[in-house]
Amino acid sequence: MMLGLALGDTLGGARGRLPASGPLRAGVSTQLACFTAEGIIRAQVRGNHKGICYAPGVVLHAYCRWAFLQGIEVEKMRRRWNSYGDSVWPDGWLADVPALAERRGSAPATVTALSRIEEGHERMATTSRGCHALTRALPVAVTGLGGIAQAGALAALTHGDTAAQAATTHAAVLAHHCLTNSARERGPSPHSGISAREALHVGITALPSVGQRITDDEHSRLAAAFRHAVDEPADAGRLARLAPDATAPSALLGGLYAAASFPDRAGFRGALEFAAGAPDGDSVACVAGALLGAVHGVEALPVDLVSRHELAWVLDTLARDLLTELEDSPSGSEYVQGWDPHWWHRYPGW
């Protein structure tokens, strides 16, 4: 899922036309998704050691580390998180990745909200419906439906529009079902497993019953986008109507349509190239890549693209560490000794 997200973000940003050689550069959605994954790990660490944790607040801290590395409101960030200057900040290994400190596109609502960090996270959000609320939050799909309940709160840190928050939650639920259904059904053969349509159909059907807020209109739009992908796959005009702008609802509907239009493993590259043709190809291809990567697994991703992506190792490490933390808590807990003495240094619990 993480690598598929990144490839979609990169290919969408290039409008489907990648350079023939050389490294593939990460987009801003990928950068932010990295910090979401790291923030989730650190929230889990904090919960294990302190017994209590408000996960969105820990993820907000992660976004502030990204902003600091980007040179955004540096002094505000330092005052908020290291006001006494008595510790190394930003901390954690992710802050040492050079590519995460480079500007890779615009995330205006996120930047505007973070620049208001001193107002407190209850008041800093903008009124934006922008796509980054959704694309950056996709890693929360790994945490299960209980953790996904916080997806809307992650979006709300910077995007106050309720439609953006709802689309973020729905995208995380669909990605979760892509992950869990594929893991259950994928067999030893590289051609075995369920198609993206099967996994997405399960997720869309489950949405009203899994405790996630969804209106009848929202559910109808998702179901209609899926039916269009089955009946009229890969129609550029249909994609443009489903995803006309750079909003979170457009990213969700366009990404769903693109993924369901190319449901089989061999269609991954074609799906991203098609998604990249949307009016905002970055976000649509990002969502499509995450959904298809979640369904088909890393072995289905084009090796020539993955091996060239500048953050492939970072994404893979974060994905593995997120699963490890959720399943095994390497740093232990308040009462249990951990088995990895370096884990807290890698992922400080705050």
pLDDT on residue 84: 78
Residue 346 lies in a domain: no
| Cα–Cα dist 62/68, whole Å | 10
Residue 66 lies in a domain: yes
Residue 97 lies in a domain: yes
What is the pTM assigned to this prediction?
Answer: 0.95
Tell me which DSSP letter residue 82 carries: -
Residue 13 lies in a domain: yes
Residue 343 lies in a domain: no
CATH assignment at residue 221: 1.10.4080.10
Tokens 């996994």 belong to 199
Lowest mean pLDDT of 33-37, 178-182, 222-226, 302-306, name the range. Answer: 178-182
Mean pLDDT for the stretch of residues 238-267: 97
- Token readout for 299 is 């072995």
Provide CB contacts within 8 A for 54, sequence distance 6+.
Answer: none
Chain mean pLDDT for the chain: 94
Residue 7 lies in a domain: yes
Per-residue pLDDT band at 190 (split at 50, 70, 90): very low
Residue 194 lies in a domain: yes
Mean pLDDT for the stretch of residues 237-263: 98
Mean pLDDT for the stretch of residues 129-150: 95
| Cα–Cα dist 105/90, whole Å | 22
pLDDT on residue 99: 98
| Cα–Cα dist 333/90, whole Å | 23
pLDDT of 184 over the 70 cut: no
Exposed e or buried b for every residue in 187-216, given b needs 16+ CB within 10 A? eeeeeebbbbbbbbbebbeebeeeebebee
Higher per-residue pLDDT: 175 or 334: 175
Provide CB contacts within 8 A for 47, sequence distance 6+.
Answer: 53, 55, 349
Domain count, the chain: 1
Q: Which residues form the domain of 42?
A: 2-332
Residue 349 lies in a domain: no
- Token readout for 258 is 């693109």
Mean pLDDT for the stretch of residues 183-191: 49
pLDDT of 256 over the 50 cut: yes
| Cα–Cα dist 160/259, whole Å | 28
Per-residue pLDDT band at 201 (split at 50, 70, 90): very high
